[in-house]
Amino acid sequence: MGSVLDGTKKKIGSYTGIFKNNVLNVKKENEKIVFEGICDGDIKKVCTEYFDLNTDYEAIKERLSNIDEYLKTSIEYGKGIRILNQDLWETIISFIISANNNIPRIKGIIERISKKYGKKIEYNGKEYYTFPTIQELSKASVEDLRALGTGFRDKRIYDTTRKFLKQEITLEELENEKDIDVLREKLLTLPGVGDKVADCIMLFSLKKYSVFPIDVWVRRVMNELYIKEDDETKVSKALLQTMAKEKYKDLAGLAQQYLFYWKREA
DNA sequence: GTCCAGGGAATCA
DNA sequence: TGATTCCATGGA
Q: C-alpha A163: how far from its chain's center?
A: 22
More confident residue, A248 or A216: A248
- Per-residue HEC secondary structure of chain A comes to CCCCCCCCCCCCCEEEEEECCEEEEEEEECCEEEEEEECCCCHHHHHHHHCCCCCCHHHHHHHHHCCCHHHHHHHHHCCCCCCCCCCHHHHHHHHHHCCCCCHHHHHHHHHHHHHHHCCEEEECCEEEECCCCHHHHCCCCHHHHHHCCCHHHHHHHHHHHHHHHCCCCCHHHHHHCCCHHHHHHHHHCCCCCCHHHHHHHHHHHCCCCCCCCCCHHHHHHHHHHHHCCCCHHHCCHHHHHHHHHHHHHHHHHHHHHHHHHHHHHC
Q: Which of residues 62 to 81 on A have a Cβ less than 7 angstroms from any strand B atom?
A: none
Residue A6's pLDDT band, with cuts at 50, 70 and 90, is very low
Segment A107-132 shows an average pLDDT of: 97
Of A2, A215, A21, A15, whose CA–CA distance to A104 is shortest? A2
- Listed residue (A96, A92, A116, A118) closest to A106, CA to CA: A96
Nucleotides of B under 7 A from a protein CB: 4-9
Whether the CB of A108 is less than 7 Å away from nucleic strand B comes out as no
State residue A12's pLDDT score: 53
Nucleotide nearest to A236 (CA to C1'): C2
Q: Are A82 and A33 in contact (CB under 8 A)?
A: no
pLDDT tens-place string over residues A11-34: 457 888 999 999 999 888 888 889
Is A82 near strand B, with its CB below 7 A from some atom of it? no
Strand C close to A101 by CB, under 7 A: yes
- A149 Cβ nearer than 7 Å to chain B strand: no
Q: Is pLDDT above 90 for A266?
A: no
A43 beta carbon < 7 A from strand B? Answer: no
Answer whether residue A264 shows pLDDT above 90: no
Q: Per residue in A145-181, pLDDT tens?
A: 999 999 999 999 999 999 999 999 999 999 999 999 9
CATH number of A88-204: 1.10.340.30
Domains A67-82+211-265 and A88-204 share a fold: no
Measure the CA–CA gap between A233 and A249, rounded to whole angstroms: 24
Residues contacting A139, CB < 8 A, separation 6+: A117
Provide mean pLDDT across the span A109-128.
Answer: 97
Average pLDDT over residues A220-248: 91
Percentage above 90 pLDDT, chain A: 82
The predicted pLDDT at position A128 comes to 96
**Residue extents of the structural domains in chain A:** 67-82+211-265, 88-204
Residues A12, A235: Cα–Cα separation, whole Å: 37
Q: Tell me, what's the pLDDT at A265?
A: 80
pLDDT of residue A9: 34
Whether A238 sits with its Cβ under 7 A from any strand C atom: the answer reads yes
pLDDT tens digits for range A29-68: 888 889 999 999 999 999 999 999 999 999 999 999 999 9
**Long-range contacts formed by A113-116: CB under 8 A, 24+ apart:** A113/A137, A113/A140, A113/A145, A113/A148, A116/A140, A116/A144, A116/A148
- Class for the domain spanning A67-82+211-265: mainly alpha
Which nucleotide, over all strands, has the C1' atom closest to the CA of A152? C8
Q: What is the pLDDT of residue A229?
A: 86
Output A146 or A228, whichever has higher pLDDT.
A146
Q: Report residue A7's pLDDT band, with 50, 70 and 90 as the boundaries.
A: very low
User: What is the Cα–Cα distance from A144 to A154, expressed in whole angstroms?
Assistant: 8
- Torsion sign (Cα): A131, A134, A137, A142: positive
Show which positions of strand C are touched by protein (CB under 7 A): 1-3, 7-11
Whether any strand B atom is under 7 angstroms from the Cβ of A161: the reply reads no
